[in-house]
Structure formats: structure tokens, C-alpha cells
């Protein structure tokens, strides 16, 4: 696996979010922003269902370790999640795949890691940094 860089500059964090939104989609920017606030592995982040969120807490079983994680959502994460839920009331997953034709008549699925990695790499290349999921 390629090594990636930690982004410590707040302005660069905001720029990445902005570029993800305009170059890829609002959904990719939301993955970036919520991911920053929850600090989960990408596979765990993409598997979040709206039913996993109750009373300002996210309760999941981590895929790699199998451990139960209960994460108190901060205000920013809660606001982003609420906005996604308002916009996509019928979605099961927080980051549900819905833009391609295959997803229209199939069982709901979350976005896959490959598409998120591709979007992050695109923005990373534009900024000259190794950006990963």
C-alpha cells in the first residue's frame, strides 16, 4: 500500500473538501468531512447505516477488529449527517450508492472504497500530495 501524507494545515483540509465537492461530488466532500470528524477506517465509514446513529451517538462493529465502537458525534458531524438524511430520506446507508444505473433497481449498497479512493487521488494529484482514504 502506498504511503500517504497527514494533512495538518486547516486551510488545506478545507481546500480538499472544496475540491472534492466541485471536482467529484458533494457526497465525496461529505465522506472527507465526516471521516475527519469520526476518524474511522474507510470501510467502517462507508458501512454506516442511519439506524446505527441514535441520540447523537454512532454505534458500529468495526470491520477489522470486530469490536463494538460507540462514538459520540460532535456538532459538525451531526449537522453533516442530518443534512444528508434530509436530502436522502429513503437511503439506508449514510453514503449510499445512487448515481449509477446499476443502483436504481438493486438492493441499496454503500459506495465502494474504490470510487472514494479514485476521487481522493484525483484531488491529491491536483494539490501535489499523496491523499488516501
Instruction: Please list the pLDDT of the chain residue by residue as tens digits (133 residues).
Output: 567 667 888 999 999 999 999 999 999 999 999 999 998 999 999 999 999 999 999 999 999 999 999 999 999 999 999 999 999 999 999 999 887 665 567 788 999 999 999 999 999 999 999 988 7
pLDDT of residue 71: 95
Q: Total structural domains in the chain?
A: 1
- pLDDT of 133 reads 78
The domain spanning residue 53 has which CATH number? 1.10.443.10
| Interacting residues of 99 by C-beta distance below 8 A, sequence separation 6+ | 25
In the prediction, which pLDDT does 128 show?
92
Residues 6+ apart with CB under 8 A from 15: 127
**Predicted pLDDT at 131:** 87
Q: Which pLDDT score, from 0 to 100, does residue 101 have? A: 60
- Quote the domain boundaries for residue 27: 10-127
Domain assignment present for 2: no
Q: What is the pTM of this model?
A: 0.88
In this structure, is residue 4 part of a structural domain?
no
User: Does the residue 1 lie in any domain?
Assistant: no
Using alpha carbons, select from 118, 106, 129, 127 the residue that is nearest to residue 31: 118
Amino acid at each position: 500500500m502506498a504511503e500517504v501524507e497527514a494533512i495538518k494545515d486547516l486551510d488545506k483540509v478545507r481546500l480538499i473538501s472544496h475540491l472534492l465537492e466541485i471536482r467529484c461530488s458533494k457526497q465525496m466532500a461529505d465522506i472527507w468531512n465526516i471521516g475527519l470528524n469520526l476518524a474511522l477506517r474507510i470501510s467502517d465509514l462507508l458501512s454506516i447505516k442511519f439506524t446505527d446513529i441514535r441520540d447523537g451517538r454512532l454505534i458500529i462493529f468495526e470491520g477489522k477488529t470486530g469490536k463494538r465502537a460507540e462514538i459520540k458525534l460532535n456538532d459538525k458531524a451531526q449537522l453533516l449527517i442530518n443534512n444528508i438524511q434530509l436530502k436522502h430520506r429513503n437511503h439506508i446507508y449514510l453514503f449510499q450508492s445512487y448515481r449509477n444505473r446499476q443502483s436504481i433497481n438493486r438492493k441499496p449498497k454503500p459506495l465502494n472504497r474504490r470510487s472514494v479512493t479514485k476521487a481522493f487521488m484525483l484531488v491529491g494529484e491536483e494539490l501535489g500530495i499523496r491523499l488516501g482514504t
